[in-house]
Amino acid sequence: MEAEYDFSQGQRGAIDPVPSSKTRITIRLDDEVLAWFREQVDRAGGGNCQTLINEALRQHIQSICQPLEETLPNVVREELERIER
């Protein structure tokens, strides 16, 4: 180790800049919810819990915003499969 380091050319801030499509927020999640997402990441062999939560939220939003014409055939198909069992 050197006795003295030169930080005169150093820059402050994050090493990896945050993409402009992302916003940093503080959110409080139930312990059980966070534990479930962490478990899913562990089962997948690693990754990022935040990415998984973001994807779950995105899927939920899509399911709510999906037009009836796209939702109805899926519901009918699922119900027919359930009846046929």
pLDDT digits (tens, 9 = 90+) for 29-83: 999 999 999 999 999 999 889 999 999 999 999 888 877 788 788 889 899 988 8
Output the pLDDT for position 39: 96
Q: Exposed (0-12), middle (13-18) or buried (19+): which is 49, by Cβ within 10 Å?
A: middle
pLDDT greater at residue 1 or residue 22: 22
CA atoms within 13 A on the CB side of 8: 2
**Total-model pTM:** 0.57
Mean predicted confidence (pLDDT) in 18-27:
85
